[in-house]
Amino acid sequence: MKENKIPFGATPIDEDDRIGLIPGHITTREELNAAEFVNINRAYVKYFSRTPSRRKAPFTCEWLKKLHKEMFGDVWEWAGKLRVKDIAPGISVAQITTEFYKFQGDVEAWENYEHDLLEVAVKIHHRLVWIHPFRNGNGRWARMASNIYLRRNNREIVRWPENEFVIASSLRKEYVSALQEADRGSFAPLQEMHKRFLR
C-alpha cells in the first residue's frame, strides 16, 4: 500500500506548537510560515530601508528583546520574552540573563579590538544562537541582528536563503555544523558561509 505523505507546508501544527499563537486561523505550517514572513518583513523594512543609527540599533539586551518582538510579536505572545524552560540547543535558563549582559559587553570589546566588521558580525550571530534566549525564532533573529550590525556600519548584508533553513536541506546541515564548529572556537566555516551569501 502506497503511503500518502503530507507536503511540509501542509503539515498540521501540533498543540504544543500552538502555545502562544496569536492568529486563530492558522492550522498548518505553511500558514504559520506565511504569517511569520509578513511580520519579519516589517522589521526588515524598518532596519534596512535606510542605514540604522546606533541609537536605533544599540545592541543592548533590551533592544535585542525588542527586535525579537518586532520580528514575531504579531504571531506569538511570547515574542521578545526570555524563555522559561531549558531547550536544546541553548544554554540553561539560569544562565540566559548573565550571558545576555556579557554579550552586550563583548560586542563593545569586539568593536574595539577586531579590525574586520564581518568577523564581529559572525561572532554576534554565533553568540546569539548559542544563548538561544527565546522559545523559538532564535536563528532568524540572530541572522537579522548580525545583518543589522553590518548595515549599521555601512557594510553589505548577508542574504541568507531562509527557505532552505526550514527544511532538512544539505545547506541547513552545513549551517548547523558551522555553528557547532564555532561552539568549539573555530569560526572559519561560519565566516565562509557569511561571505558566500553576502549581497
Question: pLDDT per residue over 66-92, tens digit each?
Answer: 999 999 999 999 999 999 999 988 999
Judge residue 23's burial from the number of C-beta atoms within 10 Å of its C-beta, 0-12 exposed, 13-18 middle, 19 or more buried.
exposed
How far is it, in rounded angstroms, from Cα 30 to Cα 10?
Answer: 6
Regarding the domain with residue range 8-196, which homologous superfamily does it belong to in the CATH classification? Fido-like domain (1.10.3290.10)
**40 band by pLDDT with thresholds 50, 70 and 90:** very high
In angstroms, the CA 193 to CA 32 distance is: 27
Nearby residues of 66 by Cβ (< 8 Å), 6 or more positions away: 80
pLDDT attached to residue 2: 44
Q: How far is C-alpha 141 from the chain's CA centre?
A: 3
Amino acid at 181: E
In this prediction, residues 146-174 reach a mean pLDDT of 92
Are the C-beta atoms of 68 and 80 separated by less than 8 Å?
Answer: yes
Predicted confidence band of residue 11 (pLDDT cuts 50, 70, 90): low
What's the whole-model pTM score?
0.91
Q: Which three cell numbers stand for residue 16?
A: 504544543
- Are 159 and 198 in contact by the 8 Å Cβ rule? The answer is yes
Q: Where are the domains of the chain?
A: 8-196
**Helix axis angle, 29-48 to 61-72, nearest 10°:** 130
Helix axes 117-131, 188-196, angle to 10 degrees: 110
* Model pLDDT for residues 16-25, shown as the tens digit of each residue: 778 899 998 9
Cβ density class 64-74: b for 16+ within 10 Å, e for less: bbbbbbbbbbb
Contact 33, 163 (CB under 8 A): no
Residue the block writes with cell 501542509: 10
Q: What percent of the chain has pLDDT over 90?
A: 80
